[in-house]
Structures are given as C-alpha cells and as structure tokens.
Structure 1
C-alpha cells in the first residue's frame, strides 16, 4: 500500500521507525534470555507485554503468529471507515465453524486477528465493557471478590480514556465522564449525527418507560438506549498494538517481538511445569524452543489457546490419546463451554428525502475521496465510526415465559439482547444490498444458553481446529432471538419514525408475517458476531471443573498463566474486548505481585 507524505509522517509519529526493543522476523534471530514469554500479541497479550516491560529488570518476549500492524495493512487496520474490511485477508486466521444443525446446516466464518493487535486490530471497534453484574458474576465464579466491579474500577480507568471526535463535535450529555479514565486505549463517540440517530434518541424521550435512555452503558448499568462508544481516537482505530505495544517497544529495550512465528507447543521444563514454548514458521520449517525463567502467559484467544493447550497434552485425555498426543494433564474443560452470540439484520426502506449512508456506500468516488482525506491527516468522514452511532441493550420482560426456568443474564443491569441501529442496508450473509435508501437494525442475543466447543483434529498446530458455537441448541436462545426481532419491529413502528420510514424491506416484511416465518428467517441468515469465549474458563481453586483458578494460573500446573477471552466463564452481555482489556490490566498486576516486581 502506498502512503502519501502526510500519512507517512503520521505513521512515524504514531509508531516510530526506530525502536528500543527488537522486532524479530525469524526465531533464529532470538538469542536473549527472557523472564516472561507472552504467546499472542493480541488484545490481552499487548497489555501484558506493555505492563510487564514497565519493570526495567525483566525481559519480555512476545510471540505473534501474524505480522506487524504498521506496514502493508496500516490503512486497512487504522482507518475507522474500513473496520471489518480485513476479514478474509492474510491478517485474518480465516477460521470456519462446523456445519450448524440449527442454521440449516450452514458453515459460519470465524475471523480472528492474525497480526500484532490481534482481533482488536480487525474488529468493529465497539467499546462496551459490560455491566457491574458481569464482573460480580466473574468474582462469584472464580471465588475471588477482587474480580468484582467495584474492585476493578481502578483498572477500568487505567485502561481507557474518552476522546473528542476528529471534528471536535461536542458530545456533552452523551456519556458520563466519571466512568472514563486516563488510560492508553482511546475511545469516543460519533463525529457525525444523522437523522436515524436523532430519531433513535427521540424514541427514548417519547417512550421512556419502554425504551429508556442510558447516558453511558459503560457506567455499570448497560440497560437502555445509548450513544455508542468506539475504540477511535485522533481519527484512527485504537487497539492493543497502538495503545500498548508500540509505545512500550519504542521506549524500552527489555521488550522484544517475534512476528510471523507460530507457537506449536508448550514445553514441559520439569514435571507439571511449563516454561517453554516451541515455535515454527510453517509445517516444514525448523522448530525452535524458547524458555521463560518465570512464566509463560498464554494469550492466543478463545480459539488458539485451547488448541495450543491440547497440542501440549493439556486437555480431555480421550481426545488427546486419539490423536497420539501424550497426556500431561487431563483437563476435560479445555475447549469446552464455548459461548458465542448470534447476530441478524433486518432492513427498512427510508424516504429518499432523508439522509442515510446508503448512497455514500454505493458511491465509489465518494468513498475514495473520504479515504484520500483520511490519508492526508486522519480527518474527514473516514476518520470516525459512522455506521452504528446508537445502540440498545435491552431485557426481556420479567413476565416473559422464557425466564420461567431462570434468568441466564448476569443480573438486572445486563441485557438479554441488543439492537444496533445502522444507517444503511445491513446485508446478512447470502443477502445482496439493493439500490435505495435504507436503515437496519442488527439484533444480537447477548445472554445465550447454548454451549459449543473448540477441538483439535490433528497433532499439528498448522491444522485449524474444529469450531462449533452450537447456535440455538436451546429453546431459550431461539425464543429470545424472536423476542428481540419483535422488539426491533416495534421500535421502528413508533410514531417517531412516521414519514421517515417507508416500510420494511421485502424479506424483513415476510419474516415479520408470523413467528414461524421469523424463525425460518433466523435459521437462514443468522451469523456469528465473533465473540467466542469460555474455552479455558476460570473457576474456584476448589472446583474440579474449569481450567484456570482465580489468578489465571492453569490449575495443576506451574509456570503457565492464561490471559484472554478463553477464561471468561460466560459470554459477556456486551462486546468482549472491553472486558478482556480490564482483565489483562489486573492480570499484569497479579504477575508482578507473584514475582515481587
């Protein structure tokens, strides 16, 4: 990708070309000894590496399977308008699920970031850290109150800070400054407000009991309609690489990064002790082993972490033995308890006299001009999140029969489902965006009860694991998805949208004709929002189940700690990156404390 001179200057200013730490492109170049080795330079791994390297006396190595984020794919990663466009490229692991029986046998794509910054470099940038109930449930599951909301507030403020949009649009009254700190991760609200956004917020004033306004879903209470915070600052995506890794790498000689190199196995250095990592750059490439004097921190994500554990003999004994992998520790829960959240779009046609984003995204010249403006000084339409500016996190009524067997959410401040309001035709997989003026609502099941799995099918790290989210395996999940769709229908049927919406698009109208038609639509078009968690879940030290204890050390082993979304015991009724950042911030302090650093 070719940069203009202004873009090159901005890149130099953001990341720097001269680093104090080393960037290695081959394992053969690595000759230093390390105290800590971080496997995975993604959302959590970036935080861990940066925070541990604050201690000048320790040496830290990050092993990242992908490449650097500030080279060929810089524009694709850091231009807010291009969020999501990295899917299917070489910075995506390009995983797929197994066929889903409840989705008419369809296979779901499972993008994960394969680049420094991990999935925080390719996601849709939404920052919603979850309710206080989510963290209190985490504390209960782990048996450690230090994971509770009140005890994590310092880490919440340490991680993130709210910034103004590129055009300095005032967003007073659209968020609560008390819940935003001075951390390296930059977040902000939209630079451009559209007719749809104003009408969504107007609905909260016209029907406040049905659609309550929530000043800030990051304040501990997520329920209501809110303005949407995204990981955008200074007209660019903010992620774990830009916020944590590069500032540390540019100023500290005790942090090194090895890129383009995959961890293939964790290596025992003593009985039930794992302080070694075997790596290779391909199936036929030579292997190398690096050893940490203190700890291995496994941050390969909800897919990569259970895969690597199982390849190393840590997991369900029967499955490992079937692949000829010697069992070091029988841990049945490795790769189990996978939870993910289904997403589905519905579309409405808008009167052509009103402004939506549909004409812009149909105009290649306009898109090109916006990208060119961003390339000059990171300003303009491409410099801010625009597609989703308002969002609803809502609950089923307490009287709902779906709750008769219990509430799967973390508590009353957590939603059962989400409504995201989009100013264009949000096409589900298999749909084509028609010409015309459209708005959409994407619904997400936030508190699913279905459980899936991640399993290895080979003893090679270069063979993708089997991923099964097991969508709609329970009656609650389908029932809640139907209820969410009916809520979306009702929301766009209020008087606030009179004269603005012409009516639902053809397939949306057909789906709303009956619950049977709606269920068929759900099975035909549901996709994954790509929020897998739970595959190495946290549990109490006294529990026989689970994978890690309350300090995130793998139970029954020495030297191995897991810090990523795999440890979350429940799907966060939010967007997981926010919670992962916070968990990683505290995990870094746990590690420092364990080694008196």
Structure 2
C-alpha cells in the first residue's frame, strides 16, 4: 500500500501556489514592505490575509512556522485525519506536563505545524457552537458585536455549504435556511453511508432523552444529528485550500512565508509592538545559532499563532506577568498577568461496543489489501469510505437542571442551547482495532469544563516548547459530567433498535459504580484538541484579560490577536468554526481601524 500512497500524493499536484515563499532568503531578496504582518498561517491567519488583501492597496505578509500542506496525503484524505497527528512533520509535537486528573499521564497535544494550521490536521468537524456561547462572549466583553445574531453575517461569509461526495439526497439531514452557500470554506454532510446511520436515528425516535436535531449549527445544539465537516468533493477543505486558494494567494499584495518561526514581537516605542523577529524553521529542527531576522509592519502585527503559540510569543516578548518573567530572566516590558492563563479544553473519552457486523471501519484497519482498494477508489473517483472523517453523527446533551450536582456547582455552560457533554458516534472502534471483532463507538466529550490550566515558560529560549497544563479533570464537576456522559452512551446503546446489532460492551459496563467509572475515565481520557482562552478578551478598561473586544492587546498599540486564544470561555462545539468566525469579524475590525 505504501507505493500507492506515494503515487497518489504525487498525482495530487500542488494545492497552493502563487506568492508562497519557502525561505527567508528568498523573501529578503524581494525587499518588500508590508502594512500587516500576520504571525501564523493557520485557521484564523489565512482569513486575515485573505480579507485584508481584498483591498489592492493593502499589503500583507503571513509568516508560517511550518511547511506546505501540498501533497500530504494524510492531510488531504478525510478518513486519514487520524494519522495527520501526533508525532508527524505537520505537528508541533507538543506534550502536556503530567496531568494529575489523568493518573499522572503526560499526553500528546497536537497543533498544526503546516500551512492551514490545525484546520489542515484536525478531524474536520464543523460545528459553530450554541447561540448562548456567543451571547456570553458579548456579555462579558460588553461588545454586542460578539453576539450570535451579530455574527451571523460572518458565519455565512465563511461557509460554502455543498453536496456530499456521493451527491445523495440530503433532505431532512440539515436545514438549508441556516447555512451559507457562497462563502469560501467548504462544508458538507457525510458522503458515504454506514451501517449505523439508520439505527442511530431510529434510536432518537425510541428514546426521548436523545432528541433528533435537524441542524445543530442553527444555534441550538441540543440533540443528535448528522455531522457536518469541512470537506469538498471528498477532500479536506482547510484554510490553506480555501482562503489561500490560488485565486487569492496569487494577489500581488499577499505573500506567505513558510518555514519561518516567529520568536518575539519587538517594540519600536514604549507601547508600539509592530516588529516581528523570526528564524528559519526547517523540519521543526531549530537552534539558537540560527540567524534572526526582523520585519516591521506599517500598520499592525496580528498574532494568529493559536492558543499555545500566541501566549508563548507574548511571554518571550516581555508581555505577561512581570514578576514571573523577571524571575525567569526575561525583561518585562508590559505587565499583563492574564497572558497564558485560563487555558480551557475539552476532554475526550472513547468507548466502544462489539457489534454483529463485518461492515465497519475495523476491517480496512486490519486488512492492507482492502485499505489499498479503498485508497485506489478515492484516488480515481473521490468516492468510497475515505471521503469522510471517522464519524457521521454527533450530538450535545445537558445534565438535568434538577441534578444534585447543581447544589454544589453553578452551571458552567453558556445556557440552555449549549451542552454539558457531547456524544460522537462512529461505525468502528476508536483507535487501532484488536485482531478480531467489529465495533460501534459512542465516545464522550466534556464540553463545558470548569477546570482551567495555563501555558507558561520554563526557558528563555524562544524555540523551546512551553509548559502546557490543561489541568484536565481537576474539578469534581468535570468528573461528574463524564460519568453521566458514559452512562448516557450506555443508555443510547441499549435502545431497542440495537438489540440485534450490539453484542456486548467493550470498554465499560453500564452497571459500573462511580469509583469504577472514575478509574476508567482517569486511565483512558484524553483531549479533543480544542485549547482556547490563553489571551482572553475582556471588557475595555477591565483589569484582567489580554485583549479588548476589538482584539487589540490591552495597553499596547499596533498589536492585535486573532485566534482561539481570545475566547474567554470554551464554546460547546468543535472549535475550528469559531476560529473562522472570529477572524471574519476581526478582518472588518481591522479594516475599520485603517
């Protein structure tokens, strides 16, 4: 199969072309000046570069630490998203510090080290979040522009909803009234049927606890519905393939520099941080002896390096907690104690059931011949099981309002349209299958966590990885919700429609006690890779937070942050859509300030 993967990659050709520069030396030869320098060519950074250069008189440079997304098969084929990270050349290959809530385990913490950022390596799920999520952002920032209703034009501006790969009839699988069909980033429904599809929705009819939700991107997420994903014609649609597609990246006023890692932002005045310092980044192998280059933006520097990269750059620049920075040996230039704090993420927990079927994804995972046949079909027709990510259905659910847990904790969710936990259904096991058996998975995710962590430094070397502590499951509330999520998944699996399909539980038993479930959770939980909050928005004039509602860094000039680090709370959703929405509005905020 290896030869087929190589030939497929070669046949794909370059996905991005135009003003993409792969070495700093080539950029310096051009002797260009830029109005805006965007640090990070990921989900948000690509949007900013695209939208600002709609004005031909505005010049933008996007500086991306990673390399090209072109010809990387595990990025392009939707079903191969599970192989895009961790520990690949397209991953920053971060690791958390040991997590007490996970039995002391340190876990891989993938982030996209490639053009398109995490939109190039994620699991492609497109969920905007709940109306209540965004309305809460508006309340805490005092800016109505961050409310759901205000953001709908930006949601539609981003989205190009299209036909699934197999062009099947999608009636009653989504609500066209809430979608955009003329945007830039492609979204579609699953393009290959699975054995569990009809059973899942029959179960929603049989069990009132699990209502059917026609379209969870309507603003009300509660219930089980069809998954929507950033896929176009059977291939991944990332910010690199959409916002930096040839018709955009070929603009003479837009340049993208790859393999260039920004180490710091530098001041040209007491409060003006408009210069970036960077080094050549090749295969992630960096040494302090590498030459350092600087470029100054005519108007602004925009940090879009993500919830790990953005706070790390700020801290190395002397922007953060002055006391902590001084103790580490970094000269403090601007005291902002909130930088790197408030890290929030979703906890993921896989669970599977043995089923009476041989038509699951487990077969191809064990059978190289079948896997090669599926890849050949995808390569020649863009059809077959590889056109989808691993799941076709998902849903969000809430803990009942009369639950005893709310006698101890106030509800951390944004409101009734947002879930406390998520269920993700897949026609196969999560992870590599055992030698025999076929499976259905109903995985759980904690989506309204109360635990908070941090991103901090333990070195003055800006090329060293920061300390990442999501502080998973530090709260009794979080453990309670995951236990309830597991029990909810067991109740769903017990629906009458599964009586002749499910043979036995594989991961845990519905009769397990709280201590037994806790043991299973702490030994097996991981993350959905949705870090947010480390450079959070707060109201203008607030003595906490990192950016004002217009995303400018508090107390500074010419420095703005546009990525998921600005969210003060984690939305009850998969977060790539939020990154697009933030960036679309941010582009207009930047234009208004010109």
TM-score by length of 1: 0.94
Match of 1:84 among 82, 85, 103: 82
Q: Which residue of 2 aligns with 1:194?
A: 194
RMSD: 1.7
Unaligned runs of at least 5 residues, structure 1:
none
Distance 1:482 1:398 in 2: 17
- 1:296 and 1:561 in contact (8 A); partners too: yes
Check whether the contact 2:4–2:372 (CA below 8 A) recurs between aligned residues: no
Q: Aligned ranges for residues 456-471 of structure 1 at < 5 Å?
A: 456-471=457-472
How far off is 1:377 after superposition? 4.3
Distance 2:434 2:160 in 1: 36
SS at match of 1:419: strand
Tell me the equivalent position of 1:145. Answer: 144
Quote the offset at 1:324 in angstroms: 1.3
- Mapped contact 1:27–1:288 kept (Cα < 8 A): no
Q: Distance in 2 between matches of 1:569 and 1:27?
A: 39
The 5 Å alignment of 1:11-50 reads 11=13, 15=16, 17=17, 19=18, 21-27=19-25, 29-30=27-28, 31-50=31-50
Indicate if the aligned counterparts of 2:163 and 2:189 stay in contact, CA closer than 8 A: yes
Relative distance call for 1:456 and 1:531 in structure 2 (3 A) is same
CA distance in 2, matches of 1:130, 1:360: 33
Q: Is the 8 A contact 1:10 1:377 kept in 2?
A: no
Q: Is the 8 A contact 2:192 2:387 kept in 1?
A: no
Q: Name the counterpart of 2:257.
A: 258
SS in 2 for 1:457: coil
Alignment pair present for 1:400 and 2:399: no
Shift in Å, 1:69: 0.8
Which residue matches 1:543? 542
Q: Of 381, 389, 392, which residue of structure 1 is paired with 2:392? A: 389
1:318 aligns to what? 323
CA contact (8 A) 1:86 1:122 kept: yes
CA distance in 2 between counterparts of 1:489 and 1:382 reads 28
Contact preservation (8 Å) 1:4, 1:376: no
Which residue of structure 1 aligns with residue 245 of structure 2? Answer: 246
Q: CA deviation at 1:84?
A: 2.4
> In the TM superposition, what is the alpha-carbon distance from 1:434 to its structure 2 partner?
4.4
Give distance in 1, aligned partners of 2:13 and 2:64.
21
TM-fit CA distance, 1:22: 4.6
d(CA) in 2 for partners of 1:278, 1:142: 31
In the alignment, is the contact (CA less than 8 A) between 1:425 and 1:433 conserved in 2? no
Distance 1:330 1:6, change over 3 A: closer
Contact 2:126–2:187, Cα closer than 8 Å, also in 1? yes
2:425 paired residue number: 421
- Structure 1 residue 4: Cα displacement: 8.5
C-alpha displacement of 1:572: 1.0
Write the distance in 2 (CA, Å) between the matches of 1:67 and 1:108. Answer: 24
Tell me by how many angstroms 1:513 deviates: 2.1
CA drift of 1:11 comes to: 3.6
Offset of residue 422 of structure 1: 1.3
Show CA shifts across 1:279-332 (max 9, x none): 012322100000001000000000000000000000011221122111111111
Gap change, CA 1:252 and 1:201, over 3 Å in 2: same
Listed one character per residue, the Cα deviations across residues 211-266 of structure 1 (whole Å, up to 9, x for unaligned) are 11110010100000100001111111001000101335443011111111100110
Provide closer, same or farther for how the CA distance between residues 346 and 8 of structure 1 changes in structure 2, counting only shifts above 3 A. Answer: closer
> Which residue of the partner structure matches residue 436 of structure 1?
437
Q: 2:310 aligns with which of 301, 305, 311?
A: 305
- CA-to-aligned-CA distance 1:546-577 (integer Å, 9 cap, x gap): 00000000000000000001001111100011
Structure 2 gaps of 5+ residues are: 281-285
Q: Which residue of 2 aligns with 1:235?
A: 234
TM-superposed CA distance for 1:146, in Å, is 0.7
Mapped partners of 1:458, 1:580: distance in 2: 29
The 5 Å alignment of 1:196-211 reads: 196-207=196-207, 209-211=208-210
Whether 1:295 aligns to 2:300 is: yes
May I ask how many residue pairs the two structures share in their alignment? 581
Between the aligned partners of 2:517 and 2:64, the Cα distance in structure 1 is 43
Partner of 1:61, secondary structure, is strand
**How far off is 1:29 after superposition?**
2.8
Q: Is the 8 A contact 1:125 1:230 kept in 2?
A: yes
Q: Which residue does the alignment assign to 1:380?
A: 384
* Pairing 1:323-402 to 2, within 5 Å after superposition: 323-352=328-357, 355-385=359-389, 387-402=390-405
**CA distance, structure 2, for counterparts of residue 338 and residue 458 of structure 1:** 20
Q: Which moved more, 1:431-440 or 1:525-534?
A: 431-440
* Deviation per residue, 1:505-557 (Å, 9 max, x gap): 1x423x84211100000010111111110000000012100000000000000
**Contact persistence 1:47–1:244 (CA under 8 A):** yes
Structure 1 residue 362 displacement after superposition: 1.7
Task: Give the deviation of 1:5 after TM superposition.
Answer: 8.5
Quote how far apart the aligned CAs of 1:154 are: 0.5
TM-score calculated relative to the size of structure 2:
0.95
Cα distance in structure 2, aligned partners of 1:479 and 1:3? 44
**Aligned position for 1:576:** 575
Work out the CA distance in 1 between the residues paired with 2:53 and 2:385: 37
Correspondence for 1:119: 118
1:445 aligns with 2:460: no
SS in 2 for 1:242: coil
Q: Which moved more, 1:161-170 or 1:301-310?
A: 161-170
- Rounded to whole Å, the distance in 1 between the matches of 2:589 and 2:247 is 20
| Superimposed CA distance per residue, residues 69-99 of structure 1 (whole angstroms, 9 cap, x where no aligned partner) | 114x2x2211111112121111100000000
1:406 to partner: Cα distance: 1.5
- Asked if 2 retains the 8 angstrom alpha-carbon contact of 1:7 and 1:375, the reply is no
Q: Check the 8 A contact 2:62/2:255 in 1, yes or no.
A: yes
- Compared with structure 1, are the counterparts of its residues 6 and 486 closer, same or farther at alpha carbon in structure 2 (3 Å cutoff)? closer
